Structure 1
Amino acid sequence: MTIWCSGASTCALSIRVGDGFCMPFCVPDALLALRVRVRGLGDVKGTICNDCLVISFCGPCAVCQMQRELYAMGL
């Protein structure tokens, strides 16, 4: 789903973390904000620099990773 319709996947991710459906369209660098939020929810170690690099080089991979993390957390 992420490869063919990344917008829908990002919106679904936003809803799962408690943000609105429109958050990815209204917030600049929404993927970065979502990644930081997911790391905070799951107490996942990492840095903002690593988050920026992952999102810059492979955004769809980052979305898939966040979806898996939320699934593992039970969210």
Structure 2
Amino acid sequence: MSWPVSRQPPALDVSSEDADWASGICDCCDDTRDCCFACWCCPCFACRTTRDLGQCLCLPLLDVCGCVRPITMSMRVSVRHRYGIRGTLCTDCLAATFCPSCVWCQMSREMKTRKLPTMLGDIIHR
């Protein structure tokens, strides 16, 4: 049994030039609704943001096990690479370790600014 694809997925907006983040890591006032959500329930917010990136919904829950947050860091690296945002693994690690909720908010704002298409769906089941 095969599943026909109803349409091709949209092309990703990948930038080849070195760009900066559309907002700073502490610019929570740019989206107060998401900031409050991340402040009060960061695991839920991280899961939603990860799903919007097209990754496994529960992936951020693995960050609970330690002080270094490998999933938060890797998702930040993924967003940086997808949009050609300059930065280093060291700065991603520091940001993810010391302010994970701010990192998730920044990634969410970046996706909204750049209008990242959702990677899931677009398949018709017969």
- Runs (4+) of structure 1 exceeding 3 A deviation are none
**For residues 81 and 52 of structure 2, what CA distance do their matches in structure 1 show?**
14
Structure-1 residue corresponding to 2:44: 8
Structure-1 residue corresponding to 2:82: 41
Larger RCO, structures 1/2 (Cα 8 Å, 6+ apart): 2
Q: Does 1:31 align with 2:64?
A: no
**For residues 96 and 70 of structure 2, what CA distance do their matches in structure 1 show?**
9
| CA offset digits 1:25-71 (Å, max 9, x no partner) | 24761101110111111111100000011112211111111111111
Percent identity (aligned): 33
Of 38, 41, 57 in structure 2, the residue corresponding to residue 21 of structure 1 is: 57
Q: Does 1:60 align with 2:101?
A: yes
**1:24–1:31 contact (8 Å) kept in structure 2:** yes
**1:17–1:37 contact (8 Å) kept in structure 2:** no
**For residues 23 and 44 of structure 1, what CA distance do their matches in structure 2 show?**
23
**1:14–1:24 contact (8 Å) kept in structure 2:** yes
Superposition CA RMSD, Å: 1.5
Structure 1 unmatched runs, 5+: none
TM-score, structure 1 as length reference = 0.90
How many residues of Structure 1 are paired with residues of Structure 2 in the alignment? 75
